[in-house]
Structure 1
Amino acid sequence: MSKVYFITGTTRGMGTEFVQAALASGHSVVATGRRLEAVTAAAGTDPNLLAVQLDITSPVDAEAAVQAAVERFGRIDVLINNAASFQAGFFEEVSPEQFRAQMDVNFFGALNVTRAVLPVMREQRRGQIVSISSTAGVIAGEFTSAYAASKFALEGWMEALRPEVAPYGIRTTVVEPGFFRTQLLEKESTILPGLSLPDYAARTAQILPAWEAMNGQQAGDPAKLARALLTLLDSATPPERWVAGADAVQGVTQKADRLRQQAHAFPELSTTLDHNPVS
């Protein structure tokens, strides 16, 4: 069955692959990005493609993009919240303005677009909402505090949204990719801290070269991820979460084991906190 996909952040990386995979499968696609010319350049031309300008931090843009999609295709079946930015740095060195900007894009941006799409899907009584998170939404590491915070927030919101919209035939999926060969680690894609503290200088000098060496060598193939995601979304029961990549599976499994150990670490304290019965 042909669907209408609405995809954010389609000018590069996974977003471009999602567009190409959906079109190749015979679906219609609304491809969006902050600069319309960049969307067109990345997506190409196709009779089933609509390129739309969308800054996800703008609720007005989101409403206009959704209206354009409905005017062209009459419905929206799948929303993929893919657009994101990457704010690197130790917490003390990330300025408050940078931290807020990270949340505005990775968290509130997805909320803006979903808020615009949900009335369409509720009226249809069907739809799928997909948010591209990260293993950083499950496992937070040093030098990624702002990015991890934005992805943890995205995951919590999606988990709560799932039962809220299920009665209207709307399903949700969070995708947690590991390291894929995209432009995420390129200098143009990584936002560095606005502040600098001597105590962090030596560790920063170790981390950045390691990331540069990893760039272009990541194991994950974004084209394969895009095709696999479409397969999952076409299944009878798309998953609540999809852990994508062997490294992601290993990391999330280890985190789950640690959480289980932590939950049972102090049973004599953790499970004895109820009020004593009144005699």
Structure 2
Amino acid sequence: MTDPRTWLVTGASSGFGEAIARVALSRGDTVVGVARSAGHLSALAGTDSPGRFVPLVLDVLDAARFDVAERTVRDVVAEVGRLDVLVNDAGRTEIGALEETTEDELRSLFELHVFAPAALTRAVLPVFRARGGGTVVQMSSMAAQVTMAGFSVYCSTKAALELLTEALVDEVPGVRFVIVEPGVFRTGVFRTGAPVVSHELSAYRDTVGPSRQWLAGAGGTAPGDPARAAEAIWQVVTGDRAPLRLVLGPDAVEGIGARLDRRRAELAEWEELSRSTDLPGAATPAG
């Protein structure tokens, strides 16, 4: 029988983070759940898991600093005794054309979606290397692969996190990395007041306007079930094999599949020109 695992889950107060925490607790594991206030974690603290849920009050934006991330991981290991799984889930939705987006909005989203997960991932790697294994789950989005007008900044943060993680597979053998790419789920990220909405410019009414309208009504109509997504993530984390990218939801499967087809077709269309740029007689590098 496998020993109970310890999970460190950011964004544990709602959405995917809360759902993942609940699944892990239901299987007898220990969860250190991160949120900005203890009150946000009260629902998880009340679950039937005596001593196995540990609330951790932390603004994940602070953990974008290496010293804070390292101290956080060190304190978790000291208190709980081990760490097996890191889930970087904390995030938000943001809409606005790039020209509509302020510098503070741009930097803040990169801090939340890229720098904080990178810092926490960096902090757990020595722990995982020392114990000979561990799993990092990066909660990305189909938006890392499938773009939409008005989500240019959001998409770019998720894409950056994905490529960082893909490179880590080669850098840190023995550690499991799973990038989760959900479609549209009823997680609360679309509820009124949750997304950051940039100031609208009339020049983008025709391109970004439809996205703003879609976002306004997406909260109650999203087809994805966070509880079922959490079960799928738990299966991958605890199974013998895992994909690098776990796509969740029919909308994500279809959207990402179509995007890959378009990229392959474009590569083939321009292949002759692409291959024409080497020095005459130069050897083609391997890889």
**TM-score relative to the length of structure 2:** 0.91
Question: For residues 90 and 281 of structure 2, what CA distance do their matches in structure 1 show?
Answer: 53
Please list the CA deviations of residues 50-76 of structure 1 after superposition, one character each: whole Å capped at 9, or x if unmatched.
Answer: 111122222344333322321222111
Contact residue 13 and residue 222 of structure 1 kept, 8 A:
yes
Residue in structure 2 matched with residue 33 of structure 1 by the alignment? 35
Once the two structures are TM-superposed, the CA of residue 175 in structure 1 deviates from its matched residue by 0.4
Residue 57 in structure 1 maps to residue 56 in structure 2: no
Contact residue 172 and residue 240 of structure 1 kept, 8 A:
yes
Equivalences for residues 98-137 of structure 1 within 5 A: 98-137=105-144
Contact residue 19 and residue 230 of structure 2 kept, 8 A:
yes
Aligned mate of 2:202, from 179, 198, 210: 198
Partner SS, residue 272 of structure 1: helix
CA RMSD of aligned residues (A): 1.7
Once the two structures are TM-superposed, the CA of residue 141 in structure 1 deviates from its matched residue by 1.2
Residue 19 in structure 1 maps to residue 21 in structure 2: yes
Ranges in structure 2 where 5+ consecutive residues have no aligned partner: 283-287
Please list the CA deviations of residues 120-160 of structure 1 after superposition, one character each: whole Å capped at 9, or x if unmatched.
Answer: 11211210111000001111211101100100100110000
Residue 178 in structure 1 maps to residue 180 in structure 2: no
Partner SS, residue 264 of structure 1: helix
Distance 1:249 1:202, change over 3 A: closer
Contact residue 87 and residue 138 of structure 2 kept, 8 A:
yes
Question: For residues 122 and 92 of structure 1, what CA distance do their matches in structure 2 show?
Answer: 43
Please list the CA deviations of residues 240-262 of structure 1 after superposition, one character each: whole Å capped at 9, or x if unmatched.
Answer: 11111111000111011011001
Contact residue 19 and residue 43 of structure 1 kept, 8 A:
no
Once the two structures are TM-superposed, the CA of residue 204 in structure 1 deviates from its matched residue by 4.8
Worse-superposed segment, 131-140 or 58-67: 58-67
Contact residue 12 and residue 42 of structure 1 kept, 8 A:
no
Partner SS, residue 242 of structure 1: strand
Contact residue 7 and residue 29 of structure 2 kept, 8 A:
yes
Residue 75 in structure 1 maps to residue 79 in structure 2: no
**Displaced runs of 4 or more, over 6 A:** none
Once the two structures are TM-superposed, the CA of residue 203 in structure 1 deviates from its matched residue by 4.8
Question: For residues 58 and 122 of structure 2, what CA distance do their matches in structure 1 show?
Answer: 14
Contact residue 148 and residue 211 of structure 2 kept, 8 A:
no
Residue in structure 2 matched with residue 165 of structure 1 by the alignment? 172
Contact residue 22 and residue 44 of structure 2 kept, 8 A:
no
Ranges in structure 1 where 5+ consecutive residues have no aligned partner: none
Partner SS, residue 172 of structure 2: helix
Partner SS, residue 271 of structure 1: helix
Q: Residue type of the partner of 2:20?
A: F
Once the two structures are TM-superposed, the CA of residue 48 in structure 1 deviates from its matched residue by 0.8
Once the two structures are TM-superposed, the CA of residue 202 in structure 1 deviates from its matched residue by 5.2
Residue in structure 2 matched with residue 218 of structure 1 by the alignment? 222
Q: Residue type of the partner of 2:107?
A: R
Q: Residue type of the partner of 2:213?
A: P
Contact residue 149 and residue 211 of structure 2 kept, 8 A:
no
Residue in structure 2 matched with residue 207 of structure 1 by the alignment? 211
Once the two structures are TM-superposed, the CA of residue 184 in structure 1 deviates from its matched residue by 1.3
Question: For residues 5 and 160 of structure 1, what CA distance do their matches in structure 2 show?
Answer: 23
